[in-house]
């Protein structure tokens, strides 16, 4: 059973830099082959962890600058993913089901996060810009 991460325009948040960073998460998740050594899988998980952490730092800094009122809640979502990725990196990926479950977790998380938390933030930004004009 395979999971393919396909970017769709509905995932666009309205910020080209963030959209590119989100696409990179899709690319990293797609780089997980259906069959790979545990070492290779963990190397890709590490790259995903590193990219997500860098992206979250940039995103949170922007939110802070914009005075986003839900920053602490958003940061908590980021922290939960980083913690989960850290835990997952210790798992054994000795069967196809384990890799499938990991990919499903990433897919569900990223889609949920972009479509809800990130889009909420960018709606706030648009509202604030209109108000300031």
**Quick check: is 4 in a domain?**
no
What average pLDDT is seen over the chain? Answer: 87
**Quick check: is 2 in a domain?**
no
Q: How far is CA 5 from CA 10, 22, 29, in A?
A: 14, 11, 7
**Quick check: is 1 in a domain?**
no
- What is the rounded CA–CA span in Å between residue 51 and residue 132? 33
Angle made by CA atoms 85, 77, 13, in degrees to the nearest 5: 105
Number of domain units in the chain: 1
Average of per-residue pLDDT across 21-25: 90
Question: And the tokens for 4?
Answer: 């393919």
Q: In whole angstroms, what separates CA 97 from the centre of its chain?
A: 22
**Quick check: is 72 in a domain?**
yes
**Quick check: is 5 in a domain?**
no
pLDDT of residue 121: 93
Q: What count of Cα atoms within 13 Å lies in the side-chain half-sphere of residue 37?
A: 3
Residue 74's closest CA among 28, 107, 122, 106?
A: 122
> Which residue segment(s) compose the domain that 84 sits in?
14-132
Write down the pTM of the prediction: 0.84
Burial environment of residue 27 by CB neighbours within 10 A (0 to 12, 13 to 18, 19 or more): middle
pLDDT of residue 49: 87
**Quick check: is 38 in a domain?**
yes
**Quick check: is 117 in a domain?**
yes
Look up the CATH number of the domain holding residue 52: 1.20.120.50
Report pLDDT digits (tens) over 68-117.
999 999 999 999 988 988 888 788 887 777 888 888 888 888 889 998 99
């Amino acid at each position: 059973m395979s999971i393919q991460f396909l970017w769709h325009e509905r995932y666009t948040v309205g910020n080209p830099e963030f959209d590119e960073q989100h696409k990179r998460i899709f690319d990293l998740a797609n780089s997980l082959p259906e069959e790979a050594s545990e070492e290779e899988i963990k190397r890709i998980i590490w790259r995903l962890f590193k990219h997500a952490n860098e992206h979250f730092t940039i995103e949170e800094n922007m939110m802070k600058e914009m005075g986003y009122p839900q920053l602490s809640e958003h940061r908590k979502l980021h922290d939960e993913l980083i913690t989960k990725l850290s835990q997952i990196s210790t798992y054994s990926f000795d069967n196809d089901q384990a890799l499938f479950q990991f990919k499903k977790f990433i897919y569900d998380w990223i889609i949920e996060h972009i479509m809800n938390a990130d889009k909420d933030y960018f709606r706030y930004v648009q509202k604030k810009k209109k108000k300031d004009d």
